Amino acid sequence: MQNDKIFINKSNRIFTVRLMWDIGQPFVCGTLEEVVKYAIQPNNGIEYFAELTGNKFKRVSKKDLKAMLSHSSLTKLGEELFKKY
């Protein structure tokens, strides 16, 4: 069986998000920008963001997430996210 949606990491950091109230949520991972864009779309809340390090999940605090999204290319995305989170 061929998988056309294989994730190839081109970044040195990988993130994931856990949404609230979404029992059937698929496991998503990617760059911070990709994961934030995914998290903003549904309207059911966000439980947490995490960074994948090795084979562990390290939760990202809101303070750290705000700092990561404060860079010029991600500021608008950060503003949109924190209206919900």
Question: Three-class SS of residue 25?
Answer: coil
Query: Residue 1's pLDDT is what?
Result: 45
More confident: 34 or 1: 34
16-35: pLDDT as tens digits: 998 887 677 788 888 899 99
**pTM, rounded to two decimals:** 0.79
Q: For the chain, what is the mean pLDDT? A: 84
Domain residue limits, the chain: 14-81
Lowest pLDDT segment from 2-11, 15-24, 45-54 = 2-11
